[in-house]
């Protein structure tokens, strides 16, 4: 009787082990592991509306992960550093700057999300409307509207990128948005907002390209904002929390990283190089023939 009992127990144990292994292999199917810290200067990311997203975080931070869909503000972030940030976090505010390209025209929703800072603690979310009006939401419920319609600097030239900076001054409880040569009025925040310090910024629900994301743990001065918004003035003041030149990221869904437009424009390609070389050769021989006839050389 004892030998029969042992034979009956053994298959049951095997079945339990198989079920446990099958369950654990299905975790996080839509999120790629975080990439190592990289210098992303000269790079841009292409995002697709409702089909993917990207999360940026500092080199010391471990890769965020989620068991839910990509469009959520309650992800279980993990970090090698402490992930609890007290309300007395020693900063005077926060600033976020980025550059983007989009053909957004409002569509059905009338607005598109540009970014969400600190999504798992007290999120700060910037949304763009088709009329150029920005909505800044605090903690997921309190929001304010800011339109950068006041010219503060001379026109700083044409650029394919829309450069935008958001500054939040926690000491004065005011916020402001800058874009191009314009600024919005400084407005009082509807409720007291103190940034949690969670160094994570998430982009989703946006269709287009983004580049040069910088985050500071203080409100930028006007001169610092001007440097960032000036075309061609990339990387003069790296973010104190997140900087494009040393950053990690995690991709979800359809997201593409490639060279920025300006970099691609300087790459004529193989056919272009051949045409350029033929043109130089033609000019060279033309110069020699004209010299033989007594005509002044082509310089």
**What's the pLDDT score for residue 78?**
37
Q: What are phi and psi of 279, to 5 degrees?
A: -65, -45
Q: Which residues contact 252 (CB under 8 A, 6 or more apart)?
A: 30, 31, 32, 52, 53, 54, 55, 70, 204
4 assigned to some structural domain: no
Q: Which residues contact 229 (CB under 8 A, 6 or more apart)?
A: 153, 156, 163, 165, 178, 179, 180, 181
CATH number of the domain that residue 166 is part of:
2.60.120.200
Contact 77, 235 (CB under 8 A): no
30 assigned to some structural domain: no
Q: pLDDT over 90 for what percent of the chain? A: 44
258 assigned to some structural domain: yes
25 assigned to some structural domain: no
pLDDT in tens, 206-242: 899 999 999 999 999 999 999 899 866 655 689 999 9
Residue 164 has pLDDT above 90, yes or no: yes
Q: Which two tokens stand for residue 277?
A: 């070389």
246 assigned to some structural domain: yes
63 assigned to some structural domain: yes
103 assigned to some structural domain: yes
Question: What is the tally of structural domains in the chain?
Answer: 1
**Pairwise pLDDT comparison (16 vs 261), residue with the higher score:** 261
Does this model's pTM top 0.75?
no
pLDDT in tens, 66-101: 433 333 333 333 333 334 433 334 578 999 999 999
The most distant pair of C-alpha atoms in the chain lies apart, rounded to whole Å, by: 118
What residues make up the domain containing 188? 43-264
pLDDT confidence of 107, banded at 50, 70, 90? low
33 assigned to some structural domain: no
**What's the pLDDT score for residue 137?**
94
pLDDT in tens, 237-262: 899 999 999 999 999 988 999 999 99
Q: What gap in Å lies between CA 156 and CA 203, rounded to an integer?
A: 27
Q: What gap in Å lies between CA 28 and CA 167, rounded to an integer?
A: 34
pLDDT in tens, 120-144: 888 999 999 878 899 999 987 789 9
CA 130 to chain centre: 20
């Amino acid at each position: 009787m004892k030998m029969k009992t042992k034979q009956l127990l053994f298959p049951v144990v095997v079945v339990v082990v198989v079920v446990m292994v099958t369950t654990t292999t299905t975790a996080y199917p839509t999120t790629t592991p975080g990439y190592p810290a990289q210098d992303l200067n000269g790079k841009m990311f292409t995002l697709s509306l409702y089909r993917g997203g990207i999360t940026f975080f500092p080199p010391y931070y471990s890769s965020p992960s989620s068991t839910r869909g990509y469009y959520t503000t309650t992800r279980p972030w993990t970090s090698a550093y402490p992930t609890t940030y007290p309300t007395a976090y020693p900063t005077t505010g926060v600033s976020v700057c980025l550059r983007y390209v989009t053909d957004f025209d409002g569509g059905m929703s009338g607005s598109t999300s540009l970014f969400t800072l600190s999504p798992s603690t007290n999120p700060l979310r910037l949304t763009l409307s088709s009329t150029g009006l920005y909505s800044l939401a605090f903690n997921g419920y309190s929001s304010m509207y800011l339109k950068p319609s006041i010219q503060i600097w001379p026109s700083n030239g044409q650029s394919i990128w829309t450069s935008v900076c958001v500054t939040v001054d926690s000491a004065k409880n005011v916020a402001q948005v800058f874009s191009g040569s314009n600024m919005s009025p400084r407005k009082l925040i509807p409720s007291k907002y103190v940034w949690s310090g969670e160094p994570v910024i998430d982009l989703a629900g946006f269709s287009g390209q983004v580049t040069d994301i910088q985050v500071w743990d203080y409100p930028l001065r006007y001169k610092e904002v001007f440097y960032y918004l000036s075309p061609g003035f990339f990387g003069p003041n790296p973010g104190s929390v997140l900087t494009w030149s040393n950053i990690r990221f995690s991709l979800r869904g359809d997201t593409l990283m490639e060279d920025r437009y300006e970099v691609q424009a300087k790459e004529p390609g193989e056919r272009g190089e051949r045409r350029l070389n033929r043109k130089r050769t033609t000019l060279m021989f033309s110069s020699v023939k004209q010299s033989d006839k007594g005509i002044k050389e082509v310089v």
